[in-house]
Amino acid sequence: MTMSSRTGILGFTSALVVALLGVSCASQRASDGLAFDAAPLFGMVYDEENQPCAGVRLSVDGREGPLSDVRGRFVVPDLARGEHRLVARKDGYEDLTVSIAFLERTDVLHLRMTSFEQLLGMAQEALQDSRFGDAEAYLERAERLDPVDAVLRYLFALHAWKTGQFVAAVGHLNAIVSAGGKQPAVLLFLADLYERDLGDRAKAIESLEAYLVLRSDSDAEQRLKALKQEQR
């Protein structure tokens, strides 16, 4: 190999080493830029209908945190890199607890919360589809938020009736009536249960009479007349 060839090879090798060192240094600088001890964590809160959820109070590791804005956005400032426990709360919604690993400063947290009304809607849809186990689970979750709500109790009664639990259905409907909720639909449902499922004519008559005080219904009047004749 000639002297000029060796010189050319040495020059190429030196250039390659310099280039590799440059890449290594650039990579190290990039890595250093991503490394952090603490940084702001950005996030958004949505509901089950993918709508922004405003006014959600967040706590991080047991300490009070930010409140989500009208677009559901929030920022946890100066959050240490690592694992954390976050709790989101809002009136009328189920509490949400999540464990997160904040490892990249570019991480964005997306949370989904479920409201009482959404749970009722999910339960009603499940009942329509005869998914009785799902319906019961949704209703039990809603009950933890508002156990005396009349619509909740009515859906519990509907679930009980559809699954053959007629006494339980009557109990849910009577709870509505006892709380002052004498809606026509509730009283007519009670009359149906007493007459057709439990064979209690006296209670059916009582429910129909209360129903007719609230609503004029010729069919119900004929039905009441027939029940009274049968009872004689």
Domains of the chain in sequence order: 38-113 (2.60.40.1120), 116-231 (1.25.40.10)
Q: Is the pLDDT of residue 7 over 70?
A: no
pLDDT of amino acid 135: 98
CA dihedral (140, 144, 148, 150) positive or negative: negative
Residue 217 pLDDT grade (very low, low, confident, very high; cuts 50, 70, 90): very high
Residue 34 pLDDT grade (very low, low, confident, very high; cuts 50, 70, 90): low
Q: Is the pLDDT of residue 15 over 90?
A: no
Q: Report the percentage of the chain scoring pLDDT > 70.
A: 85
Mean pLDDT computed over 40-51: 97
pLDDT of amino acid 128: 98
Q: Which two tokens stand for residue 232?
A: 């004689």
How far apart are alpha carbons 102 and 61 in whole angstroms?
A: 13
- Name the packing angle between helices 132-143 and 150-162 (round to 10°): 150
pLDDT of amino acid 215: 93
Mean pLDDT computed over 40-47: 97
Q: Is the pLDDT of residue 102 over 90?
A: yes
Q: Is the pLDDT of residue 78 over 50?
A: yes
Q: Which of 125, 58, 49, 131 is nearest to 95 (CA)?
A: 58
Instruction: Specify whether the CB–CB gap between 162 and 140 falls below 8 A.
Output: no
Instruction: Specify whether the CB–CB gap between 155 and 139 falls below 8 A.
Output: yes
Q: 82-89 and 96-102 as β-strands: parallel, antiparallel, unpaired?
A: antiparallel
Q: 38-47 and 108-113 as β-strands: parallel, antiparallel, unpaired?
A: parallel
Average pLDDT, the chain: 88
Mean pLDDT computed over 146-159: 97
Q: What is the DSSP string of 117-167?
A: HHHHHHHHHHHHTT-HHHHHHHHHHHHTT-TT-HHHHHHHHHHHHHTT-HH
Q: Is the pLDDT of residue 12 over 90?
A: no
Instruction: Specify whether the CB–CB gap between 36 and 104 falls below 8 A.
Output: no
Mean pLDDT computed over 30-39: 69
- Separate counts of helices (H) and strands (E) for the chain: 8, 7
By the 10 Å C-beta count (0-12 exposed, 13-18 middle, 19+ buried), 13 is classed as exposed
Residue 134 pLDDT grade (very low, low, confident, very high; cuts 50, 70, 90): very high
Tens digits of per-residue pLDDT, 153-210? 999 999 999 999 999 999 999 999 999 888 999 999 999 999 999 999 999 999 999 9
Q: Is the pLDDT of residue 96 over 80?
A: yes
How far apart are alpha carbons 143 and 145 in whole angstroms?
A: 5
Residue 231 pLDDT grade (very low, low, confident, very high; cuts 50, 70, 90): confident
Can you tell me whether residue 88 is helix, strand or coil?
strand
